[in-house]
């Protein structure tokens, strides 16, 4: 029997997971995976400068949780069985697995790391998430702090049904704490007030919020004395590929090709022509030349705002077209800054190479500063730097609209702006910048605003196309993280293998 043809749009986590699952579990399918970019990994790619992996587009931290994703990751990267370079130099006792890989000698390695997230506000680094302990009280004045404590307690007792993202945060932290710390941060991230964002917000996605259990533990700390940062630091166990998140996806792509899948880079899926409630033909452009292919199945991780208008000859109500055209997104701008050293002092007592701050992620809660988050790659993987003892690689995350002045600046202007902002925090000295690089991604953050309230009509329309499965962040219009995107790819493969989709 001839193999069925599956076309997968997008070589990000969702598309690659679907491709690998289909190819590794059966030999019934002929798979072609296309990506309009010439990279592997989508938003989770590793970024190379001078041929060396130095950053990813955002944090892309791996947290234990989803067993299927963990088992999947282990097929491509082996957990560390020996200490990494920083552990060796600092003589640290680290978690390793018996029979694991030696990161000093092997490359396909998943490292165990001590993840630390803090937030920057009023010139200092604070425990993330913000809660009320002595340091907060000292800075806020006792009356403000007492007010926050009361508002926090009130929110815990009198929870209201959350309709907006603002309700969701107020339920967790109380109105006063929300107003002091989160309100402005969320607005710079999403571009609108959290009160305008519908609640389809999943607390595990995108910006990690503490679980309720952790909040309870923190409640006990209200007004307790915290003399030193060190005891109070909340490290979490995270894992991270030796060469950044994208290394996992590059390994998956290699295996997909070994199993016979084709990966077409620089190939844009332009139109989906239907016949009898099925996508029959895919029109694509590659190197400026158009082509077409007939498909049995389509798995698409393209943003719905682009995908739906590209579907032809399958009766599209005007309301569905309108909803798709009015879906809203935020673009992403990442600035990688290579520094000689940082001005921020490591006063935590936690040992690091070059004694830099031990943070992996820093949330910037300073309202006048546009920057949202900072990654410190040295602490995620020291192998992402040529010399982790004498240089620091920072990833700066900005979000903006496509018509914002910021997005329309050229890369040099963006880099200058970012360096100036970062220097204004006191975390760096501008004169110690060695190199800066700018990355951009359109439609990186699907928003739950605009026509999102009508998305169910659009999803019902798409579910009528018998051989289509929409996956991932773009295909689900959801702020999925890497695991969630991969999970949606697994589910698409399950549906095709179980003949739950009509091929």
Ligand X SMILES: Cc1cc2nc3c(=O)[nH]c(=O)nc-3n(C[C@H](O)[C@H](O)[C@H](O)COP(=O)(O)OP(=O)(O)OC[C@H]3O[C@@H](n4cnc5c(N)ncnc54)[C@H](O)[C@@H]3O)c2cc1C
Footprint on residues 140-169 left by ligand X (CB under 6 A): none
Token reading at 469: 């499965």
- Cβ proximity to ligand X: between 90 and 273 the closer is 273
User: What's the Cα-to-Cα distance from 222 to each of 130, 137, 149, 177, 247, rounded to whole Å?
Assistant: 11, 9, 8, 13, 42
State yes or no: residue 493 binds ligand X (CB under 6 A): no
- Binding track, positions 470-489, relative to ligand X; x by CB under 6 A: --xxx-----xxxx-x----
Alpha-carbon span 100 to 77, nearest angstrom: 10
Q: Is 114 helix (H, G, I), strand (E, B) or coil?
A: strand
Cα separation, 77 vs 275, in Å, equals: 42
CB of 132 to ligand X, least distance (A): 27
Q: What is the DSSP letter of 222?
A: T
The helix/strand/coil state of 291 is strand
Give the length of the chain: 503
CB atoms within 10 A of CB 319: 13
Q: Does 393 bind ligand X (CB under 6 A)?
A: no
* 302 near ligand X, rule: CB under 6 A: yes
- Is residue 400 part of the contact set for ligand X (CB under 6 A)? no
Contacts (CB under 6 A) with ligand X, residues 429-448: 444
In whole angstroms, the minimum distance from the beta carbon of 486 to ligand X comes to: 8
- Could you say which of 268, 450, 459, 494 contacts ligand X (CB under 6 A)? 268
User: What does each C-alpha distance from 265 to 288, 441, 489 come to in angstroms?
Assistant: 13, 16, 19
b (16+ CB within 10 A) / e for 446-456:
bbbbbbbeebe
Q: Which of 413, 396, 395 is nearest to 404 (CA)?
A: 413
Footprint (CB under 6 A) of ligand X, residues 35-74: 35-37, 42-44, 57-61
Give 178 or 329: the residue with its C-beta nearer to ligand X: 329
> Which range touches ligand X (CB under 6 A), out of 13-21, 255-263, 424-432, 453-461?
13-21
Instruction: Compute the least distance from the CB of residue 61 to ligand X, in Å.
Output: 4
Q: Are 99 and 81 in contact (CB under 8 A)?
A: yes
Tokens of 230: 């060190």
Choice between 83 and 191, CB closer to ligand X: 191
- By CB under 6 A, the count of residues binding ligand X is 34
The reply to whether 330 sits near ligand X by the rule CB under 6 A is no
Q: Which stretch binds ligand X (CB under 6 A): 7-15, 20-28, 159-167, 411-419?
A: 7-15
Query: Taking CB under 6 A as the rule, does residue 250 contact ligand X?
Result: no
DSSP symbol at 103? T
- Between 180 and 483, whose beta carbon lies closer to ligand X? 483
Comparison of 137 and 308: residue with beta carbon closer to ligand X: 308
Within its chain, how far is the Cα of 179 from the centroid? 25
C-beta of 82 vs 205, nearer to ligand X: 205
Residues that bind ligand X (CB under 6 A): 9-15, 34-37, 42-44, 57-61, 268-269, 301-302, 332, 397, 444, 472-474, 480-483, 485
């Amino acid at each position: 029997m001839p193999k069925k043809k599956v076309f997968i749009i997008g070589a990000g986590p969702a598309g690659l997971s679907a491709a690998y699952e289909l190819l590794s579990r059966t030999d019934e399918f002929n798979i072609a995976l296309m990506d309009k970019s010439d990279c592997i990994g989508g938003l989770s790619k590793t970024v190379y400068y001078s041929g060396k992996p130095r950053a990813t587009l955002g944090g892309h931290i791996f947290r234990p949780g989803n067993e299927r994703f963990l088992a999947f990751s282990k097929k491509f990267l082996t957990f560390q069985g020996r200490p990494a370079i920083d552990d060796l130099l600092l003589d640290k006792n680290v978690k390793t697995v018996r029979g694991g890989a030696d990161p000093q000698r092997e490359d396909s390695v998943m490292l165990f790391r001590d993840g630390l997230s803090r937030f920057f506000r009023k010139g200092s680094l604070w425990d993330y998430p913000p809660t009320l302990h002595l340091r907060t009280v000292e800075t806020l004045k006792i009356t403000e702090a007492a007010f926050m404590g009361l508002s926090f307690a009130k929110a815990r007792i009198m929870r209201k049904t959350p309709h907006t993202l603002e309700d969701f945060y107020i339920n967790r932290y109380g109105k006063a704490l929300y107003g002091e710390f989160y309100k402005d941060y969320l607005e710079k991230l999403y571009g609108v007030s959290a009160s305008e964002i519908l609640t389809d917000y999943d607390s595990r996605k995108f910006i990690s919020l503490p679980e309720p259990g952790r909040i309870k533990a923190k409640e006990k700390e209200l007004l307790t004395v915290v003399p030193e940062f060190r005891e109070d630091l909340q490290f979490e166990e995270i894992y991270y590929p030796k060469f950044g998140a994208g290394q996992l996806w590059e390994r998956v792509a290699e295996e997909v090709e070994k199993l016979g899948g084709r990966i077409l880079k620089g190939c844009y899926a332009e139109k989906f022509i239907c016949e009898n409630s099925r996508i029959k033909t895919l029109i694509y452009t590659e190197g400026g030349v158009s082509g077409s292919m007939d498909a049995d199945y389509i798995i698409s991780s393209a943003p719905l705002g682009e995908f739906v208008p590209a579907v032809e000859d399958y009766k599209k109500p005007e309301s569905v077209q309108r909803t798709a055209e009015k879906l809203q997104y935020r673009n992403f701008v990442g600035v990688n800054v290579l520094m000689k050293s940082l001005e921020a002092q490591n006063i935590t007592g936690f040992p690091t190479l070059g004694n830099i701050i031990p943070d992996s992620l820093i949330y910037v809660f300073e309202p006048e500063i546009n920057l949202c988050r900072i990654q410190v790659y040295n602490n995620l993987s020291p192998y992402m730097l040529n010399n982790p003892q004498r240089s620091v690689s920072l990833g700066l995350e900005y979000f903006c609209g496509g018509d914002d002045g910021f997005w329309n600046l050229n890369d040099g202007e963006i880099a200058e702006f970012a360096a100036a902002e970062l220097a204004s925090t006191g975390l760096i000295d501008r004169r110690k910048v060695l190199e800066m690089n700018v990355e951009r991604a359109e439609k990186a953050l699907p928003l739950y605003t605009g026509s999102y309230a009508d998305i169910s009509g659009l999803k019902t329309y798409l579910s009528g196309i018998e051989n289509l499965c929409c996956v991932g962040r773009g295909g689900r219009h959801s702020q999925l993280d890497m695991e969630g995107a991969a999970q949606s790819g697994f589910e698409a493969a399950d549906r095709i293998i179980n003949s739950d989709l009509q091929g």
